[in-house]
Amino acid sequence: MGTLRQQIIDLLRQEAMTALDISQAVRVSEKDVYRHLAHIEKTVAGQGRKLSFTPCTCLACGFTFADRRRLTRPGRCPRCRESRINHPLFRIEE
For 42-51, write each residue's pLDDT tens digit.
999 999 999 9
Instruction: Kindly list the structural domains of the chain, giving each domain's residue range(s) and its CATH number in brackets, ordered by start.
Output: 4-93 (1.10.10)
Share the mean pLDDT of the chain.
Answer: 93
DSSP-assigned beta bridge partners for residue 90:
17, 53
DSSP-assigned beta bridge partners for residue 92:
51
Average of per-residue pLDDT across 43-69: 93
For 16-38, write each residue's pLDDT tens digit.
999 999 999 999 999 999 999 99
Residue 5 clears pLDDT 80, i.e. is over it: yes
b (16+ CB within 10 A) / e for 37-63: beebbeebeeeebebebeebbbeeeeb
User: Given pLDDT bands bounded at 50, 70 and 90, which one contains residue 69?
Assistant: confident
Average of per-residue pLDDT across 57-81: 93
